[in-house]
Copies of this chain bind each other. A is one copy, B any other.
Amino acid sequence: MDLKQLDAFAKEIIIEAGKRICASFSYDLEVEVETKSSPNDLVTNIDRETEMFFIEQIYQFDPTHKILGEEGMGEHPDSMDGVVWIIDPIDGTMNFVKQHRHFMITIGIYIDGVGKLGYIYDVMREDMFYAIAGEGAWYNDSPLRKLQPLTIEEAVIGINASWVTPNRKINHEKLIDLIHTVRGTRSYGSAAMEIAFVVSGKLDAYISMRLAPWDIGGGIIIAKEVGAIATNLNGQAPDLSGSDTFLIANPYIHQLILEHYIEEK
* Distance A164 CA – B163 CA, assembled complex (angstroms): 10
Contact B156 A94, beta carbon cutoff 8 Å: yes
Contact B164 A98, beta carbon cutoff 8 Å: no
State which of B142, B156, B165, B185 has its C-beta within 8 Å of the C-beta of A176. Answer: B165
Q: Which residues of B contact A166 (CB under 8 A)?
A: 176
Contact with B along A149-162 (1 / 0, CB 8 A): 00001101001111
Contact A184 B180, beta carbon cutoff 8 Å: no
Contact A186 B185, beta carbon cutoff 8 Å: no
The verdict on A27 contacting B94 (CB below 8 Å), with A179-B162, A186-B189, A188-B188 known, is: no
Contact B99 A202, beta carbon cutoff 8 Å: yes
Q: Does A24 contact B (CB under 8 A)?
A: no
* Distance A45 CA – B153 CA, assembled complex (angstroms): 23
A197: nearest chain-B partner, CB-CB:
B99
The number of chain A residues with a CB under 8 A from chain B is 33
Give the oligomeric copy count.
Answer: 2
Interface set, chain A 125-180, CB cutoff 8 A to B: 125, 142, 153-154, 156, 159-162, 164-166, 176, 179-180
Interface set, chain A 176-210, CB cutoff 8 A to B: 176, 179-180, 183-189, 197, 201-202
Contact B153 A39, beta carbon cutoff 8 Å: yes
* Distance A99 CA – B158 CA, assembled complex (angstroms): 13
A94: nearest chain-B partner, CB-CB:
B184
Q: Which residues of B contact A99 (CB under 8 A)?
A: 197, 202
Contact with B along A41-78 (1 / 0, CB 8 A): 00000000000000000000000000000000000000
Given contacts A161-B164, A165-B176, 18 further A-B contacts (CB under 8 A): A27-B142, A39-B154, A40-B183, A94-B156, A94-B183, A94-B184, A98-B202, A99-B202, A100-B202, A101-B202, A125-B125, A159-B161, A160-B161, A161-B187, A164-B164, A185-B187, A186-B187, A187-B187
